[in-house]
């Protein structure tokens, strides 16, 4: 299998795809607009998902977990070696550790999460040398757009002017 080295244009392309899915999460399911896509080492889409924790009454159904579950099923393996996960919001600790266990190769996120971010903002679980696997991280891809989407969603939910 030939591995493709992702470019800045690839990162923006897949983040735009994730942002489109985040819009669907909000419109179709009234979920917090966070979405993720898993891309294989050749640069092909393996799986996608968005937050489902409210709809599914499942606290673990964050976008990253949904996308990784689907990716595992698609490739027939719980290890997602060589895959890149794009997510519109910096992963939380739960999602970060699931990525470590899945052996994700790279994570690209949009907006930072100053309250629970586990890819460098509050915690740095993906690069922690105590783990047997570390994940390359690129943050801030289309961060303004991702952050604005979340801000608008929460203002709408709280009844504040958008």
Each residue's pLDDT tens digit, 82-141: 999 999 999 999 999 999 999 999 999 999 999 999 999 999 999 999 999 999 999 999
* DSSP structure string for 99-127: HHHHTBSEEEEEE--TTT-TBTTS-BGGG
Q: Is 46 helix (H, G, I), strand (E, B) or coil?
A: strand
Q: Where would I find the beta strands (DSSP E) of 23-156?
A: 35-39, 45-50, 84-89, 106-111, 136-138
The pLDDT value recorded for residue 7 is 76
Active-site positions read 64
Q: How far apart are CA 125 and CA 130, in angstroms?
A: 9
Each residue's pLDDT tens digit, 33-87: 999 999 999 999 999 999 999 999 999 999 999 999 999 999 999 999 999 999 9
The pLDDT value recorded for residue 8 is 81
- In 3D space, the residue among 26, 34, 31 whose CA is nearest the CA of residue 57 turns out to be 31
CA 83 to chain centre: 12
Token pair of 162, please?
Answer: 């958008």
Q: How far apart are CA 107 and CA 59, in angstroms?
A: 21
Q: Which residues, at least 6 apart from 95, have a Cβ–Cβ distance to it below 8 Å?
A: 62, 64, 65, 87, 118
- In 3D space, the residue among 129, 92, 132, 136 whose CA is nearest the CA of residue 114 turns out to be 92
Q: Is the pLDDT of residue 5 over 80?
A: no
């Amino acid at each position: 299998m030939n591995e493709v080295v992702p470019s800045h244009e690839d990162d923006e392309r897949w983040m735009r795809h994730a942002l489109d899915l985040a819009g669907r999460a909000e419109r179709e399911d009234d979920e917090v607009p966070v979405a993720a896509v898993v891309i294989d080492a050749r640069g092909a889409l393996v799986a996608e998902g968005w937050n489902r924790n409210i709809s599914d009454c499942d606290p673990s159904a964050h976008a990253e977990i949904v996308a990784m579950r689907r990716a595992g099923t698609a490739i027939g393996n719980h290890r997602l070696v060589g895959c890149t996960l794009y997510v519109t919001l910096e992963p939380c600790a739960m999602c970060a550790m699931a990525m470590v266990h899945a052996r994700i190769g790279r994570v690209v996120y949009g907006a930072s999460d100053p309250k629970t971010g586990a890819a460098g903002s509050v915690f740095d679980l993906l690069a922690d040398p105590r783990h047997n696997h570390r994940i390359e991280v690129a943050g801030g891809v289309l961060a303004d757009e991702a952050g604005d989407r979340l801000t608008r969603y929460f203002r709408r939910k709280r009844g504040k002017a958008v």
